[in-house]
Amino acid sequence: MILARKDILGIKELSKDEIVLILDTADSFIEISTREIKKVPTLRGKTVINLFYEASTRTRTSFEIAGKRLSADTINISASTSSVVKGETILDTARNLEAMNPDVIVIRHSAAGAPHMLASMVKQSIINAGDGAHEHPTQALLDMMTIRAKKGRLENLKVTIVGDIAHSRVARSNIYGLKKMGAQVTVAGPATMIPKDIEQMGVNVHSSLDEAIKEVDVIMMLRIQIERQHQNIFPSLREYAQRFCLSKKNISLAKKDVLVMHPGPINRGVEISPDIADGPYSVILDQVTNGVAVRMALLYLLTGGKA
Amino acid sequence: MNWLIKGARIIDPSQHIDGPMDILIEDGKVVKLGQNLSASRKKGITGMDLAGFVVTPGLVDMHTHLREPGFEYKETIQTGSEAACAGGFTSIACMANTNPVNDTRSVTEFILRKAAETNLVNVYPIAAITLQSQGKSLAEFWDLKEAGAIALSDDGKPVLDSAIMRRALEYADSLGLLIISHCEDTSLSSGGAMNEGFPSTELGLPGIPGLAEDIMVARDLLLAEYTRSSIHIAHVSTAGSVRLIRDAKARGIKVTAETAPHYFTLTDEDLRTYDVNAKVYPPLRGKHDVEAIKEGLRDGTIDAITSDHAPHALTDKEVEFEYAASGMIGLETSLALSLRLVAAETLTLSQLIDKMSTRPAMILGITGGSLRPGLPADLTIIDLERSWTVSCEAIRSRSKNTPFLGRNLTGKAVLTMKGGVVTYNELHNCHDHPRHS
């Protein structure tokens, strides 16, 4: 099977079959990262540009390692070092990059829709590495890969996502993906963090953490951005932590074999207590490991690889 | 020029006329309307056989942005006037958010001088309510009126301070100047890129709730009631505003209102592709709002349809959606889009012409919107059947920012006449022939 699309802009556009194809391919790539020599020649001669308009350590490094393990040439461009500071528009940057004939452009941008704009302008494959509060498809794929590896399935699992859903691209991509794969999704947070009409995405909404995690298979905690306090989305980190921090006190409400996930970077003691983040339920580092495999799979499939 | 127009369906809401009739035009003025008119003995009368066409008073657009002075790369008074003529307009009122802002006599005079040089449409400057539209101190209303301003608006920005809006209403009303209010509570809207609703949630774009408009409409209606002044609400986009204005009219508040074709044609679902040309302020709303706007037009709550023609160059638009300028051009598509209301039987053709010509002229207190004998022969000839495609090549406006690019529309102004002079003519272009310009 091949992935018959030019770009990965969001999970919304992907079919269930495509998601399964990507996850299966990623599973097969896991082993490469455990070898003594962590490199295969699959993408030799291919060029991957990581165009990051927004700060990122984890995602950018993960894409870079994914490319390198497949022997692609990877180039990182970050907004602070590129011509962005000179006032070049994203389209001019894109046209210039296009003229250098890369094979894949990975883009992260603080503005929703920026990857879509890029994809319509250049002939290269575009992978969305996060656009504003819109989508973060590779994160959702690595999350689904992690859940599937631990639980053996995604179908009929109960998954709860907790935190600032309104500003979260991770939440949106996971909702699309998990729903397509047959999971039941609940979102939880104070009403100020729940975007308008989210029920129409087919999720349950709770404003109590205890209610939201009762008997669930998976809990995904989202990072609370301290800057948002100034927008009065929550009164204080102290109060937020009192109401929504996942800790020993409340984790027992979930199923005994619950998985605790977090896209990182975590605020210890705010949305998640250290003993939970480092404890037996946590698969946070598995997520990071699987992230490399998922990104390898996408680079491979988008450059014409067969699964 | 002298003309004898025969065989057309004449629609003039100001005289309650809708039917076949002839019109005689001499020396730039309407001389006579009637059956079987024949040319007087005067020389140089050109006959026009217009069987199958509709003749209306020249269309009047009470809300456009001509961008001159200051933003000539987007539009000029010349190019905006050309677009207006092509859209069937003979009179347009232009908003004050130029650079410098039209808050002083010299800017108003500049606009009028440029418009007179262009001499394609009647251009009526709307001056700013407050200096530089900053919402802090009133502009010199009397002096601006003397210079030729016909109304006042800080359009593009709201007058946030209620006390200043109150004083503006009182002072303007005593001069017979209409305040046109851009209703927006910026504490609820700032940072927003589109209507707040399910599409904004899915697209991850910051939302602007309809509430940001409703709250200011409510405030302005209360201020108008208290000060017993007239007020005109610009670009109504929400069901809430329609309800508030309907109630206010029933209570006798002197309010009039306008909407623009995109608010009854498109919804926030049309932003699914992040089309920057559909980014507009106020933002495209939900289905429920669109239905309420149509109902408001039908029951008379909304008096006028305006283009809110807002030209922006490619450089203002070809950026990330959140950073793109808000606004779309509309002078050349307004009529065809509004004719869809007639096709859908929301309005009769006569009601539509009322909202696009007679009423706006009345609201602004300007000549026009009528084919009464003695008035300047400002008229529009419409081919209701003409099918055409919106294209960059055909658009006369300097900017091409419209989400309707590539759309096939039905109905077009095929000849526009101002004071007996033809300002636009594609009357003889047949359906199957390419258009020449």
- Kindly give, in sequence order, each residue whose CB lies less than 8 Å from that of residue A3, ignoring residues fewer than 6 positions away: A18, A21, A22, A301, A302, A307
| Token pair recorded at residue A151 | 């639980």
pLDDT tens digit sequence for B264-301: 999 999 999 999 999 999 999 999 999 999 999 999 99
Tokens 């200096």 sit on residue: B131
Nearest to B323 among A111, A135, A195 (CB): A111
pLDDT tens digit sequence for B384-427: 999 999 999 999 999 999 999 999 999 999 999 999 999 999 99
Taking CB atoms and an 8 Å limit, are B201 and A198 in contact across chains?
A: yes
- Kindly give, in sequence order, each residue whose CB lies less than 8 Å from that of residue B205, ignoring residues fewer than 6 positions away: A112, A113, A132, A133, A134, B193, B194, B271, B321, B322
pLDDT score of B437: 34
Contacts of B274 in chain A (CB under 8 A): 112-113, 116-117
Asked if the model's pLDDT at residue B131 lies above 80, the reply is: yes
Provide the shortest C-alpha distance from residue A7 to chain B (in Å).
Answer: 15
Q: Which of A12, A122, A134, A201 to mutate to test the interface with B (most CBs of B within 10 A)?
A: A134
CA B399 remoteness from chain centre = 17
Provide the shortest C-alpha distance from residue A166 to chain B (in Å).
Answer: 7
Contacts of A195 in chain B (CB under 8 A): 200-201, 207
Contacts of A197 in chain B (CB under 8 A): 197-198, 201
Nearest to B198 among A131, A169, A197 (CB): A197
| Token pair recorded at residue A260 | 């605790």
Residue B302 φ/ψ, nearest 5 degrees: -95, 120
Task: Label residue B163 by pLDDT band (50, 70, 90).
Answer: very high
- The SS3 assignment for B380 reads strand
CA distance A84 to B70: 27
pLDDT score of B431: 44
pLDDT score of A226: 79
**Whether residue A167 lies in the annotated active site:** no
> DSSP letter at A218?
E
- Kindly give, in sequence order, each residue whose CB lies less than 8 Å from that of residue B183, ignoring residues fewer than 6 positions away: B158, B213, B216, B217, B220, B233, B234, B241
CA distance B234 to B215: 14
Q: Which chain B residue shows the shortest CA-CA distance from A132?
A: B204
Residue B275's nearest CA partner among B318, B329, B332 is B318
| Token pair recorded at residue A127 | 């992978």
Asked if the model's pLDDT at residue B177 lies above 50, the reply is: yes
CA distance B231 to B220: 8
Asked if the model's pLDDT at residue B199 lies above 60, the reply is: yes
pLDDT tens digit sequence for A15-72: 999 999 999 999 999 999 999 999 999 999 999 999 999 888 899 999 999 999 999 9
pLDDT tens digit sequence for B95-114: 999 999 999 999 999 999 99
**Percent of chain A predicted with pLDDT > 90:** 88
CA B166 remoteness from chain centre = 26
Contacts of B202 in chain A (CB under 8 A): 12, 172, 201
**Whether residue A57 lies in the annotated active site:** no
Burial class (CB in 10 A: 0-12, 13-18, 19+), B211: middle
**Whether residue A123 lies in the annotated active site:** no
Asked if the model's pLDDT at residue B435 lies above 70, the reply is: no
Task: Label residue A85 by pLDDT band (50, 70, 90).
Answer: low
Provide the shortest C-alpha distance from residue A230 to chain B (in Å).
Answer: 14
pLDDT score of B436: 38
- The SS3 assignment for A284 reads helix
pLDDT tens digit sequence for A171-220: 999 999 999 999 999 999 999 999 999 999 999 999 999 999 999 999 99
Q: Which residue type sits at A214? A: K
Taking CA atoms, A139 is separated from A58, A82, A159, B401, in Å, by 11, 25, 15, 35
Bridge partner list, B181: B233
Provide the shortest C-alpha distance from residue A44 to chain B (in Å).
Answer: 33
b/e map A118-156, b = 16+ CB within 10 Å: bbeebebbbbbbbbbbbbbbbbbbbbbbbbbeeeeebee
Contacts of A91 in chain B (CB under 8 A): 318-319
Mean model confidence pLDDT for chain B: 96
Asked if the model's pLDDT at residue B135 lies above 60, the reply is: yes
pLDDT tens digit sequence for B422-431: 999 999 764 4
Marked catalytic residue, from B155, B173, B303, B308: B308
Taking CB atoms and an 8 Å limit, are B201 and A109 in contact across chains?
A: no
Taking CB atoms and an 8 Å limit, are B321 and A91 in contact across chains?
A: no
Q: Which chain A residue shows the shortest CA-CA distance from B271?
A: A113
Contacts of A126 in chain B (CB under 8 A): none
pLDDT score of A83: 54
Task: Label residue B433 by pLDDT band (50, 70, 90).
Answer: very low
Task: Label residue A90 by pLDDT band (50, 70, 90).
Answer: confident
Provide the shortest C-alpha distance from residue A98 to chain B (in Å).
Answer: 17
**Whether residue A69 lies in the annotated active site:** no
Taking CB atoms and an 8 Å limit, are B202 and A201 in contact across chains?
A: yes
Domains and CATH numbers, chain B: 3-55+375-397+406-436 (2.30.40.10), 58-364 (3.20.20.140)
Taking CB atoms and an 8 Å limit, are B201 and A196 in contact across chains?
A: yes
- Kindly give, in sequence order, each residue whose CB lies less than 8 Å from that of residue A22, ignoring residues fewer than 6 positions away: A3, A14, A141, A294, A297, A298, A301
Identify residues of A whose CB sits under 8 angstroms from chain B CBs: 12, 89-91, 109, 111-114, 116-117, 131-135, 166, 169, 172, 195-198, 200-201
Q: Which chain A residue shows the shortest CA-CA distance from B200?
A: A196
Marked catalytic residue, from A109, A134, A136, A158: A136
Nearest to A113 among B198, B318, B320 (CB): B320
Residue A244 parent element (H or E): helix A237-244
Provide the shortest C-alpha distance from residue A109 to chain B (in Å).
Answer: 9
Contacts of B204 in chain A (CB under 8 A): 112, 131-135, 169, 172
pTM score: 0.94
Asked if the model's pLDDT at residue A258 lies above 90, the reply is: yes
Q: Which of A88, A89, A93, A117 to mutate to test the interface with B (most CBs of B within 10 A)?
A: A117
> CA-based diameter of chain B, in Å?
70
**Percent of chain B predicted with pLDDT > 90:** 95
Provide the shortest C-alpha distance from residue B316 to chain A (in Å).
Answer: 11
Looking at residues B374-387, what average pLDDT do you find?
Answer: 98
* Distant-in-sequence contacts of B219-222, Cβ < 8 A, 24+ apart: B219/B162, B219/B165, B220/B165, B220/B181, B220/B183, B221/B245, B221/B248, B221/B253, B221/B255
The sheet with strand B408-418 has its strands ordered as B17-20, B9-12, B54-57, B379-389, B408-418, B421-425
Burial class (CB in 10 A: 0-12, 13-18, 19+), A229: middle
Q: Find out whether B187 and B213 touch, Cβ atoms under 8 Å.
A: no
